[in-house]
């Protein structure tokens, strides 16, 4: 019998990506909640390089790194496609997913965390990366076109987690993402977070808000 | 008629990866040498996000980021496979390629550039990441098994570029990679760099040595 086990943490956008992909494909799986302050022997054994969640264990074989797990899930199980079939479209999906993780999200965090003169520059950078995404959505409902794909699942950071960062950093006035500046992104957030399999796999708002509030306060206290 | 154009720089291990993959597949291409201090309008037009080489232009469509280009080449042209066909093996190839770029190479550079107490820690980290690679080669000629694959092409950094860093940083005594510590890696370097399509696509040693010497001296002068 097939065994699928996911090691994750409830608040991680990276773990949630994997849950969304498994749900999209209709794959049954066992979920193991990890305490990152006291990692399980299984996590350390199966992910000795990064020692991080998410970790997918499929018939005893470990796969880590959320974007690589999404590709593995797409190549292993049938059901709605996560990546497009055309090689060029696949390259573009991989490119924008990587862009979200490596360029876009770090720029958004910097904009929410920096103050004074530094913030102006960080804001400019965040606006620049978000403009690329805004333009990717021209004439499209999702980054994947008519259906949700790799880039949409990766962008769950923007759809859900970002608002908590923005709310509790208290320095983002006006907010980074507004209907006036980024109408396509705002519409996408709405369409995406209202898809049933996405909605069911986003962490509860109040719980996430509480966690982010505490984290940001701790970061500020440490910086003083 | 098919048009394949590669924008690169002669000394970049990332550009060279793409050249190796195109040569492995037997794809004819036009090479455009970029001056990174004065980037061409085409590079800026086709890679507006990163403005970097390598950039592949296939029938007018741009693809950037070396690892994504390698996957695109593998999916587009027939010939020797760059990625394995099994989904799990593919996930592992992607994992180790990413590991090389994001974890291994930065750790090796730190070990070659730091001094004093910092160097000890950097050395330890570099040894740790290299041990992972050493173990990946147990019982195998190449990271790809009997033939060269994604991880081998990505690891050209270690096979060729690393020695120049080590030579001119002057602080790596004993060297990071020795036959005693990493016999499998040393054997792999030898096997890999003696493959004809690899050998023909490595930058000339003297020219690379001269460049690295100047770069490292400039970095040291700036740090003083």
Question: Tens digits of per-residue pLDDT, A77-106?
Answer: 999 999 999 999 999 999 999 999 999 999
Do the Cβ atoms of B95 and A69 come within 8 Å?
A: no
Contact between B103 and A69 using a beta-carbon 8 Å cutoff:
no
The Cα A195–Cα A165 span in angstroms is 23
Work out the angle between the directed axes of helices A105-113 and A162-169 (0-180°, nearest 10): 20
CB contact (8 A) between residue B68 and residue A75: no
Which top CATH class is B87-223?
mainly alpha
Question: What is the spatial distance between Cα A84 and Cα B24, in angstroms, rounded to a whole number?
Answer: 26
Pick from B65, B72, B94: CB nearest A87: B72
Which chain A residues have a beta carbon less than 8 Å from that of B61? 88
A-chain residues near B150 (CB < 8 A): none
Q: By the 8 A CB rule, do A91 and B71 touch?
A: yes
Task: Indicate yes or no: CB of A91 within 8 angstroms of CB of B98.
Answer: no
8 A C-beta contact, residue A142 and residue A148: yes
CB-based contact B94 A63, cutoff 8 Å: no
Q: What is the Cα–Cα distance from B147 to B137, expressed in whole angstroms?
A: 12
Domain ranges of chain B: 4-76, 87-223
How far is residue B202's CA from residue B186's CA, in Å, rounded to a whole number? 17
d(C-alpha B48, C-alpha B56), whole Å: 14
Record the tokens describing residue A24, joined without a space: 């999209």
Looking at residue A58, its pLDDT comes to 98
Please determine, for residue B99, whether its predicted confidence score (pLDDT) is greater than 70. yes
Q: What is the pLDDT of residues A158-170, one digit of tens each?
A: 999 988 877 776 6
User: pLDDT by residue (tens digit) across B23-58?
Assistant: 999 999 999 999 999 999 999 999 999 999 999 999
Query: CB B49 to CB A103 under 8 A?
Result: yes
Shortest CA gap B76–chain A (Å): 6
Q: What is the nearest CA distance from A204 to chain B, expressed in angstroms?
A: 31
Domain A4-76 annotated CATH 3.40.30.10? yes
Task: Measure A92 CA to nearest chain B CA, in Å.
Answer: 8
What are the C-alpha distances in Å from B107 to residues A47, A183, B34, B120, B127?
Answer: 19, 42, 28, 12, 9
CB proximity list for B24: less than 8 A, separation 6 or greater: B79, B80, B82, B148, B153, B197
Find the closest chain B residue to A131 by CA distance: B49
Least confident of A30-39, A210-219, B95-104, B166-175: B166-175
All residues of chain B having their beta carbon less than 8 Å from the beta carbon of residue A63 are 88, 91, 95
Q: Which residues of A touch B128 (CB under 8 A)?
A: none
The distance of A88 to chain B (nearest Cα, Å) reads 7
What whole-number distance in Å separates Cα of residue B204 and Cα of residue A132?
A: 38
pLDDT band at B66 (very low <50, low <70, confident <90, very high): very high
Which of A73, A95, A136 is the best substitution to test chain B (most B C-beta atoms within 10 A)? A95
The per-residue pLDDT for range B136-173, each reduced to its tens digit, is 999 999 999 999 999 999 999 999 998 887 777 666 56
| Candidates A63, A90, A132; nearest CB to B91 | A63
Of chain B, the percentage scoring pLDDT greater than 70 comes to: 97
Which residues of chain A have a CB within 8 Å of the CB of B63? 88, 91, 95
Per-residue pLDDT tens for A124-159?
Answer: 999 999 999 999 999 999 999 999 999 999 999 999
């Amino acid at each position: 019998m097939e065994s699928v086990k996911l090691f994750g943490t409830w608040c991680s956008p990276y773990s949630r990506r994997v849950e969304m992909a498994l749900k999209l494909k209709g794959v049954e799986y066992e979920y193991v909640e990890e305490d990152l302050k006291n990692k399980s022997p299984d996590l350390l054994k199966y992910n000795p390089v990064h020692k991080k969640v998410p970790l997918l264990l499929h018939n005893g074989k470990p796969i880590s790194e959320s974007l690589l797990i999404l590709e593995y899930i797409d190549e292993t199980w049938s059901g709605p496609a996560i990546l497009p079939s055309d090689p060029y479209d696949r390259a573009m999906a991989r490119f924008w997913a990587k862009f979200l993780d490596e360029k876009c999200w770090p720029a958004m965090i910097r904009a929410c965390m920096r103050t004074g003169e530094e913030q102006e520059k960080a804001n400019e950078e965040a606006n620049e990366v978000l403009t690329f995404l805004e333009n990717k959505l021209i004439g499209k409902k999702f980054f994947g076109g008519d259906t949700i794909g790799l880039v949409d699942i990766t962008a769950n950071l923007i759809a859900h987690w970002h608002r908590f960062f923005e709310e509790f950093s208290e320095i983002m006035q006006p907010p980074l993402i507004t209907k006036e500046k980024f109408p396509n992104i705002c519409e996408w957030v709405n369409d995406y977070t209202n898809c049933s399999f996405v909605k069911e796999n986003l962490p509860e708002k109040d719980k996430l808000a509480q966690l982010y509030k505490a984290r940001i306060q701790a970061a500020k206290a440490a910086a003083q």
